[in-house]
Every structure is written in structure tokens, then in C-alpha cells.
Structure 1
């Protein structure tokens, strides 16, 4: 996630399974804030989606004021400051204006507490919002959902910070890093351009992947350990991944050529890549990843990213182990 100059101060009819009560229940907007002290904090990333959060900040404050909501504007200039700002706030509900990275930072503080995360999606990818049924672009509807009843969702734990969407290694790390550094184009197409630019440098690496205690060695260009279905700005990398089932979905793109990798990524938008012969899908409650050989030497095979944020690296001679259903997050209005 990038920061600029800081301004951060039963079954449903659509087939989605509701995780909690929806707007329209007999709950007043003020009661739905679920904060014992009646205060809502607002955290906005001014760099998200080329400044969308900054441009909408006054509109959001006006809409909250119309709903008789008292707002605490959180101030921060960096990743660390954002975490400190959320941790230092006494608000029972934190509304986040930004993308997956901003949500990730807030979740690292709010996990396993009775404080509620409200999502006002305004990032480049917005994969967390998409997975939780919160990706509407109507600002008033976003706010109503962010003030509605909270629903618990699972997180992936064991990395540097809890993970909301997915933990990635290999080629997607290089793509994500490249996309975050780009100023143009705007939106999810940035990931497409970054993919094309990074393809010539792609070299598969050898990993030891251990799923619920069963280990296997494999050569892979891509390893994605997912809590939710989407990554990279709307690519359905793990179709059907459910952040409430206590399991992680794992997508491995194996020892494929650059052309095959590009072809498989073109299929990810619809989830059709799961039928590609070079793609393997797994599910597990515990995943351990060890890097055995990195012939490419770019660092992407060892580096880890989650929710668009850097998450350290697989330790040399060691492994990174993550688990599902060991932590939870209260998200306002969520559904899957």
C-alpha cells in the first residue's frame, strides 16, 4: 500500500449465504454502529486508487453527519502510523476508505477484538470488499453497510500479520510489487500491465508444500494460499474459497512456460484456470511453505505478500506456516 500526503485523520436470493443480519432489520443506524462510546473512527488512504478516498472524504463525513454519527478522523503518514492510529483510537467501529492494503492494516489491530471494521472500498483491487459482498460503488450504500450489524469472518494467521484475502509467493509477488509502483493505468488494468511486464523474468522455483502434515515437493511459478476467492483486482484465483469455513484454498501453478503462465492468468478472471493441466488446487487448515531452490534468483520465490502488502519472506533453510480459523474479524454487513 502506498501513502501520499496524509489526510487520514437460510440463503439469499442472489445465492450468497448471509453471514449476519442485513440492513433493513429493526436496528437504528446509531445502534448499528455497535460502539459502546458512540464514536466511529474513519481511516482513509489518500493514495488509494489515485486519490479516490481523498476526493470522497468530505462526502463521507457529510453522509455520516446526516446519519447522526460522530466521526473521529484518524491521522497517519505511513503503514506504521496507520496501525498506531487504529490501535490508539477508542472507537468501537473503524471505517476504512481504501483498498486491500488499508483493510489489511486495520484488520491487524481489530482481529480478535469486539471492535468492528466497516469497509468503504476505494482501492485499485478491492478484492476483500468483493469477496465479502461489499464492493458496491454507491457511497451512501457503502456507508449504510459499514454501519450495519457485524459478521465474524476467519483470517489466516501465522505470517507477520493476519491475512484477510490471500498470501502469495512466486510470480504474483513480482506482479503485485510492480503494480503498486505504477502510476498508470488506474484501476485493475494496472495488474494486467504489470503481469505482461513481469512475464519475461518468470522462472519457476522448487518448494516443499506441507498440507495438514502431508508434505510434497513441487516446482511452481505461483503459490496462493487463499482465505477468499479473488486476488489481483478481480481475478478468481480460488473459486469458492469461503472465509467462514475454517479452511484455506491453495492454488499452485506448476512448472509451466511463460506462455502457459500467461494463458492460465487470462483464464483466472472466470476461475477457468482450475481446469488447466498445470494448475493444482488444494484445501487445508494448515499450510507450510519451504523454498528449496530458486533458479531465477529474483527474490519473488522467497518473498511473501498478503492483501497487497509485503509480509517478509520464507526464512532461508526454514519455512512459513499459516493456519485458518485461528483468528476472526468482525466486518460490518459482510456476506459471501
Structure 2
């Protein structure tokens, strides 16, 4: 059946490996749903991340109405590099491990058809949500940049070949806890310089990362500001005790918690690599600025 006159052109970009194959399975139910609604769908699947980004940018350059991704936060981050500040809307079918962007949108990775129906309704009514992005150089992220203990753990875990999944991060956490000490940071907060020691510094565009860790509790994706969170020195026992509070956002009452709301921040620290949306952004110093309303979400 040919597309309807009011059909939209959608590029559907899938990470087939997301969620141990959940991505491909979700794509296989979402694609016919979108086509049944009368839309013209271009299904894309990159050989690797670089190829997937190339396909996404080609689709945006071709003038598709929407780029929809099937995957986790890493896939969303990849798509942001193609759609940020463009007129192409971003759709999401969460199928990864973290899914912090999907969580913000109220999407359940166990129900890909509900995500498809949300996109269909948005395309039909024109109702969209415009959100801010954080920009580091020419790269964007949607959730949180980690630049402390959590980033050190991520760096170690990425260097490990075994085991796979969450257990790798658990082992990396235990390994780092044995030797980790507070780091000396320099923060430039909208031009004001602060020097301090901390366990971690996180720069939140949104409130959570890492599968629901609400490190930047209270951060909003549409306020034109970044939330810079500092956890000042605590004992290793206290760090382990505080960790579960991150899932509830109740760590904000801890006496070593500090929060700053700014439009731009430069984070400098020794031997730390910044991670944002779960992706490696590079060693400090890194400058992050908020780009208000940078992307439109279906």
C-alpha cells in the first residue's frame, strides 16, 4: 500500500546488539507498526558506531521528518550528533541497558509498540517536546557527564574483557574502591573559579545516568541550565553506603553534596576521563555548555 498523502518519512536506526538482541526484536515489531500507520520507513543498521552515525547524518541531510532510534542511551547519543539543532525530530524505542532518556519520556523498554504508538500520535498531532542538550566541543549529550569515581570505574570496566554485563562494572567498582582517593578539581562555573577536592563531579543536563542513578536530582531538560553536582570527600565505607541513595535521589541531603546551576562549566582534574550518555568524551579538562531547545522529541 503506498504511503498516505500525510505520511512522514522516518529513518529507523537500530542497534541490533542492544539489550542482548532486544534491539533487533523491537525493530521487527515497530517497523510494521509505523508502516501500517501509513508512514514511509527507511530501516538502517550500521556495521559499527561510525557507520551508524554516517547513516544517521545521511538521513538527516536527505530531509527525513524524523530519525527514530532503537537502542539504549549510547544509540540516543549517536543520533543526537546527527539531529542536534536541526529540524529533524528524534524518536526513541528504548531497548538498551540504561535507557535514561527513555525513562524521562516515560517509555518502557518492555513495550516497544507503546513507543511506536507515541511516535505515531506525535506525528499525527504535531505535539513535540523540545529539550536542551549539553555540548562538549562539537559533541552533544542528553543526560549526565561523569568526571570522577564513576568515570574511573567506567574506564576500568571498558578495558576489561571479562565478565560481560553489569558484573564487569561491579568488579571494576570493587577494584577502584581499594585505591581511589579524592581528586583535586578546578571548576569554572559561569566564569567563577572554585578549587576543591571531591570524590566525583557530574554535569547534568538531565537528572539520571547509568540506568537510573539520579546523581543530578532536580535537573530539568528544558530549563536552559546545567546542574553541576559535587560529592566532596567521604570515606570508602560512606561512599558504598550512599550509593543506593542515588537511585532515589535522596543523596541530596548528604552534608558532602553540593550543587551549582550554570550555563557553562569547565571541569579540570588529574587523570580523569569524562563519560557522558555512557560514551567516552575524553580526558579533562572539558568544557560543557547548555544549548537550549537543541532537539525536538517525538
3-state SS in 1 of match to 2:140: coil
3-state SS in 2 of match to 1:125: coil
Per-residue CA shift, 1:260-295, capped at 9, x if unaligned?
22122121111111111222122111111122xx3x
Contact 1:30 1:67 in 2 (8 A): no
Contact 1:176 1:232 in 2 (8 A): no
- Structure 1 residue 134: Cα displacement: 2.9
In the alignment, structure 1 segments of 5+ residues that lack a partner are 1-28
- Structure 1 residue 196: Cα displacement: 3.8
Give the Cα–Cα distance (whole angstroms) in 2 for the partners of residues 249 and 165 of structure 1: 11
Per-residue CA shift, 1:299-332, capped at 9, x if unaligned?
4x2x111101111122xxxx32211135611111
- Structure 1 residue 193: Cα displacement: 5.7
Give the Cα–Cα distance (whole angstroms) in 1 for the partners of residues 81 and 5 of structure 2: 26
Q: Which residue matches 2:235?
A: 257
3-state SS in 1 of match to 2:142: coil
**Paired residue total:** 286
In the alignment, which of 225, 229, 232 is matched to residue 210 of structure 2?
Answer: 232
The alignment status of 1:124 with 2:94, answered yes or no, reads: no
- Structure 1 residue 256: Cα displacement: 2.0
Which structure 2 residues correspond to residues 110-189 of structure 1 after superposition, within 5 A?
Answer: 110-135=83-108, 137-147=110-120, 148=122, 149-177=127-155
Give the Cα–Cα distance (whole angstroms) in 1 for the partners of residues 162 and 36 of structure 2: 35
Give the Cα–Cα distance (whole angstroms) in 2 for the partners of residues 196 and 159 of structure 1: 33
- Structure 1 residue 132: Cα displacement: 3.0
Q: What RMSD, in angstroms, separates the aligned Cα atoms of the two structures?
A: 2.3
In the alignment, which of 155, 171, 186 is matched to residue 208 of structure 1?
Answer: 186
Which structure 2 residues correspond to residues 84-123 of structure 1 after superposition, within 5 A?
Answer: 84-89=54-59, 90=62, 91-123=64-96
Q: Which residue matches 1:51?
A: 21
> Could you say if the C-alpha distance between residues 201 and 131 of structure 1 is closer, same or farther in structure 2, counting changes exceeding 3 Å?
farther
> Could you say if the C-alpha distance between residues 47 and 260 of structure 1 is closer, same or farther in structure 2, counting changes exceeding 3 Å?
same
Per-residue CA shift, 1:225-273, capped at 9, x if unaligned?
0011111111111112101001111111112222222122121111111
Mean CA deviation greater in 145-154 or 191-200: 191-200
> Could you say if the C-alpha distance between residues 84 and 170 of structure 1 is closer, same or farther in structure 2, counting changes exceeding 3 Å?
same
TM score, norm. by length of structure 2: 0.87
Contact 1:63 1:140 in 2 (8 A): yes
Contact 1:165 1:307 in 2 (8 A): yes
3-state SS in 1 of match to 2:203: strand
Per-residue CA shift, 1:42-63, capped at 9, x if unaligned?
1111221112102222212222
> Could you say if the C-alpha distance between residues 170 and 160 of structure 1 is closer, same or farther in structure 2, counting changes exceeding 3 Å?
farther
Per-residue CA shift, 1:124-157, capped at 9, x if unaligned?
0101111233346322211012331322100011
Give the Cα–Cα distance (whole angstroms) in 2 for the partners of residues 30 and 58 of structure 1: 25
